[in-house]
Amino acid sequence: MLDLIGGARTFDDAYGWISAAVGRRLSTPELLGKALAARSRMRWRGWVTAALSDAADGVHSPLERRYVHGVERAHGLPPARRQARRRHGSGHRYLDNLYEPFRLCVELDGNAAHPAEGRWRDTRRDNANLAQGVRTLRYGWPDVTEYRCRTAAEIAEVLRRQGWTGTLRRCGPTCTAVSPLKQGAEKKQEAGKPANPVNNA
């Protein structure tokens, strides 16, 4: 498996091998980590180490990893629970990203066009979530790559309506998720808040 990872054409392809191994229970992030430590030479060693940590956290595809790093963490969104197990009817389903305190689920669709059966399955899952008081936002590959800043802003807006009080941040100088003026004003407001009093008792 490490040979396949090291020989991959791109990071996304390499993570595809990691997620396939873990998702199909052919190996675990812990076992792959031990094998990695035993190798004196390994292409992308630092990246692979971080990727194994993501896989252990429930990030099960290159698309999900792009979402975690490019949308959620890069813009300061709260961390979701990955592969959250929820009861639906007589069985269980797993949600890609569940922001449980804010009753929001973010699902990621790897295929540009789902077969009809897959679309109806997604619809039933979304309806079941809503019946339990959880809203669902659904995104594909362009949304977490080319339009990741717009996606982050959209998720942040829904989270705020659900009670999130955090601050969305810009991922870089060209980020469109929040304007530089607005972020500067929020930082100034935060800096002006009085410090917590020290308890001398």
Find, among 134, 59, 126, the residue nearest to 101 by Cα: 134
Reported confidence tier of residue 197, pLDDT bands at 50, 70, 90: very low
Two structure tokens written together for 27: 């190996």
Condensed to tens digits (0 to 9), the pLDDT of residues 24-53 reads 899 999 999 999 999 999 998 999 999 999
Find, among 156, 51, 136, 54, the residue nearest to 95 by Cα: 136
Res 198 pLDDT > 50: no
Report the distance separating Cα 166 and Cα 160, nearest Å.
Answer: 8
Condensed to tens digits (0 to 9), the pLDDT of residues 12-31 reads 999 999 999 998 899 999 99
Reported confidence tier of residue 108, pLDDT bands at 50, 70, 90: very high
Condensed to tens digits (0 to 9), the pLDDT of residues 187-196 reads 555 555 565 5
Lowest mean pLDDT among 100-109, 112-121, 164-173: 112-121
Report the distance separating Cα 21 and Cα 32, nearest Å.
Answer: 9
Condensed to tens digits (0 to 9), the pLDDT of residues 59-99 reads 989 999 999 999 999 999 999 999 888 776 666 778 899 99
pLDDT attached to residue 128 = 73
Share of residues in the chain with pLDDT > 70 (%): 80
Q: Which domains does the chain have, with CATH numbers?
A: 2-56 (no CATH), 66-182 (3.40.960)
User: Hey, is 104 helix, strand or coil?
Assistant: strand
Average pLDDT over residues 164-191: 78
pLDDT attached to residue 46 = 93
Condensed to tens digits (0 to 9), the pLDDT of residues 137-157 reads 999 999 999 999 999 999 999
Q: Which residue has the higher pLDDT, 142 or 183?
A: 142
Across the chain, what does the average pLDDT equal?
Answer: 85
pLDDT attached to residue 200 = 44
Report the distance separating Cα 149 and Cα 131, nearest Å.
Answer: 29
Q: Which residue has the higher pLDDT, 99 or 119?
A: 99
* DSSP character at residue 67: I
Res 175 pLDDT > 60: yes
Find, among 107, 62, 51, 65, the residue nearest to 84 by Cα: 107
